[in-house]
Amino acid sequence: MGKTKHTGPMKLPKLPDPKLWVSPIPFGLGKVKPHHLRDTVKVVWENRDNLSYAARILTQGVCDGCALGVSGLHDQTLAGPHLCTTRLNVLRLNTMPAIKDEVIFQDIHELRKLSSTELRKLGRIPYPLMRRKGEDRFKRLTWDEALTIIADKMKELDPKQMAFYLTSRGITNESYYVAAKAARLIGTNNIDNASRICHSPSKTALKRSLGIGASSCTYKDWIGTDVLVFWGSVAANNQPVSTKYMYAAKRKGTKIIVINPYHEPAMDEYWVPSIPDSALFGTKLADDFYQVNIGGDIAFMHGIMKHWFEMENEKRGSAINYDFVEKHVNGFDKLKQHVEQYDWEALEKSSGISKERMKELAKMLAAANSGVFVWSMGLTQHRFGTDNISQVANLALLRGFIGREHCGVMPIRGHSGVQGSGEMGADPFSLPGGGFDKETVERIENVWGFELPKWQGDMVGVSLENALLPDDHERKLKLYYMSGGNFLETMPNPDFVKQCLENLELRVHQDIIFNTSTLLDAKEAVIVLPAMTRYEQPGGGTSTSTERMVYFSPEIKGPRIEEARAEWQIFVDLAKRVKPERKHLMNFQDAFAVRAEIAKAAPDYDGIQHLKHKGDVFQWGGAWLCEDGICPTEDGKGNLITVELPELRKAEGQFYATSRRGKQFNSMIYSERDPFNGADRYDVLMFREDAEKLGIQDGEAVVVYNRHGLFQGRAKVENVKQGNIAVYWPEGNSLFPKGVYEQYAGIPEYNTTVIVEKAETFYAQKDVKYKEKRIEELEMEVG
């Protein structure tokens, strides 16, 4: 771990720089862009019944939105206030009153007519509820009744037939940790969390390349680095506060490069609301865009390295940092031989980037003395996601962009609860402070005081599929306990997911609001438990940011949902009921006791036990992991990983398709219109020439389909890489294959090949087998 400590927030320049302005026209009038002031007024109006409480949450609590780590209105990167629309949109989840009784107890078929957005607006879940099979209404339970039913069912089952899942919806480290311990005490390793769907390849790849499972640097390293590369990440959309860091980086002369199939408007130009000159005239963020094919990133990175090796053949040291590589890196010769075997034609075809453009970026990176690589789900959510990230690590290691100021690799997190989830052990492959290796298991057994189940737990997608196994199968999932989440709107193939969820005997939804999955049937019963938000949790709670800052968020005085309970307390109560003979091992009296045990169980978190007051924070690992090039691997060196080009098979007439986020927080949609491009949630983003070739007009109804599903929408001509399309997530999830997981990390596949046709052409076919015939014809062409 690093010895250098984070130096705290820095100040922005006082005078503006007109060279960075987008337009002399104030506030971007006439442009398609977010309207921050209007959105803020809307949020104020929504929270008008609890304005003082809302203000206390914003000024005292740690953001429950993205993982930038804003505590109150301040962070550790830049001085001054920080507030974004993502946080404001999430705010109402914390301030709204309970759902009215007459709404809760109406016919379930009436509730099912509502979307998740409409269900969210009904209010908070006020008390425990249950609906047995065949019943058309929820009925109220006491906490004792609800937990007794769940515990009795767990006692009946083989531990392999039950599973836990935790989303990232404002969940604290304390809740992740207690859930991880409770699951193992009950006897199951089937526990997983939302990071499986987002960033599991990042952790897996960084572990094998660098021996770390988190960002190696901080946000301050963006500001003043020579090159800041965003790879498959639209931070301006998903982590809006980061635009302030990009602004500061631009003022220091940093070049910002974006690699994405879609020329993202949000990464091109942005009006940062908390910086006066940017709020007025906008800021040009990206210096260059490289529009890569969906799935073409590995080939693109091979091209960069291939040119580096060509440069080295002409002049040693012109591209590779040999001083760093020879001291701190394994596998150089093997990687060089592997990369050089690919010809430029293959790399161009796979990546969609010309040889000249690949060389252009290669030269820029070779000339840079520092660089930070940031990525998100554009790299991770592939069946080869781990290999994508290993290639990023290869680039950083070859240039020595590791373990020093203004350098590093950063998987930017989308939610404030994600980084801590695996580090707390809420993961089938992890325990607090480590993996599931023999040494970690023995260490945790000593801390927890009981023997852990040794069998391999299932990840979330497999757990869902196991609900459809034969009844007598030892892994037949019969009980799923979910803390938040809506698999209907996060997993591929919603119809299949619905089948899985309804085939469970008992389904438990521990949450603060209803969503569409809450209302599905189960073979025996559905139980709903009301949870507290992080701001209601007695004794406060902690969360870990992208840059490994562990923040304390205090309990904030305000109105309460009377029967809602802290999530970690619910897990304690449940575990004691299932295993009463072991209840002394779950005897946490308060949140401080939980943090004290976390400090013992997860060595990196030694210091969490001292967090007690508003603003308390510490960073585990120091400012830079792998400081001075020394990695926490067996030999202290980083490992260059050879990666094969993925097979990307697409027939003439097909498109690569991926998903895109709009104005949303995870699957929670806050607007039907994308503020960055004016798109509707059912728009299909297409390249103009692709649309013209198919005779499709901008705004015309289209059908997108493949063997997995069908999506109906309207074409929207946008600057998308030719041969590629984008649909919104989760609306387009029906197109993505079920049961396809990344080899190493188990992330579901969210990319596929599709056919796009005019709706009138598709529906004019009288043959009901038309769709299947078209798919078969195109696949024969590929073969």
Nearest one of 300, 271, 407 to 360, comparing CA atoms: 300
Which residue in the block uniquely carries the two structure tokens 């509707």?
A: 680
Q: Residues 336-356: pLDDT tens digits?
A: 999 999 999 999 999 999 999
Count how many residues are written for the chain: 783
- 458-517 pLDDT per residue, tens: 999 999 999 999 999 999 999 999 999 999 998 999 999 999 999 999 999 999 999 999
Report pTM. 0.96
pLDDT of the residue at 780: 63
Answer for the pair 166, 174: CB distance below 8 angstroms, yes or no. no
At 1, the pLDDT band (50, 70, 90 cuts) reads: low
Which residue, among 238, 200, 196, 245, has the nearest Cα to 220 in the 3D structure? 245
Q: In the prediction, which pLDDT does 781 show? A: 58
Compute the radius of gyration of the chain from its Cα atoms: 25
Residue that the structure tokens 């402070």 belong to:
433
Please say whether the beta carbons of 397 and 327 come within 8 A. Answer: no
Buried b (16+ CB within 10 A) or exposed e, 336-347: bebbeebebeeb
Reading the block at residue 259, the tokens are 């690699």
On whether the CB atoms of residues 530 and 563 are closer than 8 A, the answer is yes
pLDDT at 783: 45
Q: Where are the beta strands (DSSP E) in 14-153?
A: 129-132, 139-140
- Quote the pLDDT of residue 196: 77
Say whether pLDDT at 29 is over 90.
no
Q: What is the DSSP secondary structure assignment for residue 20, as one 8-state letter?
A: G
Confidence of residue 767 (pLDDT cuts 50, 70, 90): confident
Q: How do 617-619 and 541-544 pair as beta strands? A: unpaired
Q: How far is CA 260 from the centre of its chain?
A: 17
The residue-averaged pLDDT of 656-674 equals 83
Cα distance between residue 335 and residue 339, in whole Å:
6
Alpha helices in 121-191 (DSSP H): 143-156, 173-186
Look at residues 447, 393, 398, 407 and name the one whose alpha carbon lies nearest to residue 425: 447
Measure the CA–CA gap between 432 and 10, rounded to whole angstroms. 33
Question: What local confidence, expressed as pLDDT, does residue 133 receive?
Answer: 95
Judged against a pLDDT cut of 50, whether residue 197 lies above it is answered with: yes
532-568 tens-digit pLDDT: 999 999 999 999 999 999 999 999 999 999 999 999 9
What pLDDT is stored for residue 461 in this prediction? 92
Residue 339 — φ and ψ, nearest 5°?
A: -65, -40
Residue 113 near residue 103, CB atoms below 8 Å: no
Instruction: Name the band, by pLDDT with cuts 50, 70 and 90, for residue 665.
Output: confident
Residue 126: pLDDT band (50, 70, 90) is very high
